[in-house]
Amino acid sequence: MKINLAALLIVSVLALAGCTQSPPQRTPAPHGGKPAPAPQALPAPPPPRPAPAAQHPRAEAASWRDLPQSPGSWTYAAEANGSAVSFSQPGTGTPPPLVLRCDRARPAIEVLRSGLGSGSVPATITTSSTLRRLTATSANPPGTATNAAPAFEITFGVRDPLLDAIAFSRGRFMVEVAGTQTLVLPVWSELGRVIEDCR
């Protein structure tokens, strides 16, 4: 039997070629001769921000609804230039601590607060939807005794949105005038009636 040396040599060369690994191919360099830079890892995303703390209403804004209501009731009366609603305790003989009056001659809505004092003082009216800081001015002519009632006045245009906030407040509203006791007053339909009398 003759062995074909040429065939055996070819088979050996092919077997050796199958066992060798070709070296990794280089990425061709871009025009300019420099190799392309190796890809860099992307930076890690920033950690998530903590959730903001829940916003709570101011303690005073939440607690005024829990204050005891001032004793008394509203009384409506027609007047020459409009109408008025007075908050008072019947039978006490004291002037109403608060009057809301429609003056068609101006026209204006006046909030009159009895108390001791004169000049201008800070005031605040709080409803279930609104808190507004105001200035109450002396309602008495010069020379009037400081204990006369009413002592202070806050005047509003007849379309002032605070008037609607008072009329539609949920159950109550609060009137604060410096130097006087805070009033927490019930919301009755008489308030809206006086406001509408001026519109």
pLDDT digits (tens, 9 = 90+) for 136-159: 998 776 555 555 556 899 999 999
pLDDT in the model for residue 137? 92
| pLDDT at residue 9 tops 90 | no
pLDDT in the model for residue 4? 55
pLDDT > 90: what percent of the chain? 50
Range from 8-12, 36-40, 138-142 carrying the lowest mean pLDDT: 8-12
pLDDT in the model for residue 182? 94
pTM of the model: 0.65
| pLDDT at residue 56 tops 90 | no
| pLDDT at residue 18 tops 60 | no
Q: How confident is the model at residue 59 (pLDDT cuts 50, 70, 90)?
A: very low
Range from 32-36, 51-55, 123-127 that averages highest in pLDDT: 123-127
- C-alpha–C-alpha distance, residues 111 and 98, integer Å: 7
Three-class secondary structure of residue 65 per DSSP: helix
Length of the chain as a residue count? 199
Alpha helices in the chain (DSSP H): 5-19, 59-63, 161-167, 189-197
Phi then psi for 119, rounded to 5 degrees?
80, -155
pLDDT in the model for residue 57? 37
> CATH classification of 64-197, choosing from 2.60.40, 2.40.160, 3.30.450, 1.10.3210?
2.60.40
| pLDDT at residue 24 tops 60 | no
- C-alpha–C-alpha distance, residues 170 and 27, integer Å: 77
CA-based angle 27:37:28, to the nearest 5?
Answer: 20
pLDDT tens-digit map of 90-129: 887 788 999 999 999 999 999 999 877 778 899 999 999 9
Q: Are 166 and 194 in contact (CB under 8 A)?
A: no
Q: Which of 196 and 21 is assigned the larger pLDDT?
A: 196
| pLDDT at residue 133 tops 80 | yes
Mean pLDDT for all residues in the chain: 78
What residues pair up with 122 in beta bridges, in sequence order? 135
- C-alpha–C-alpha distance, residues 124 and 19, integer Å: 95
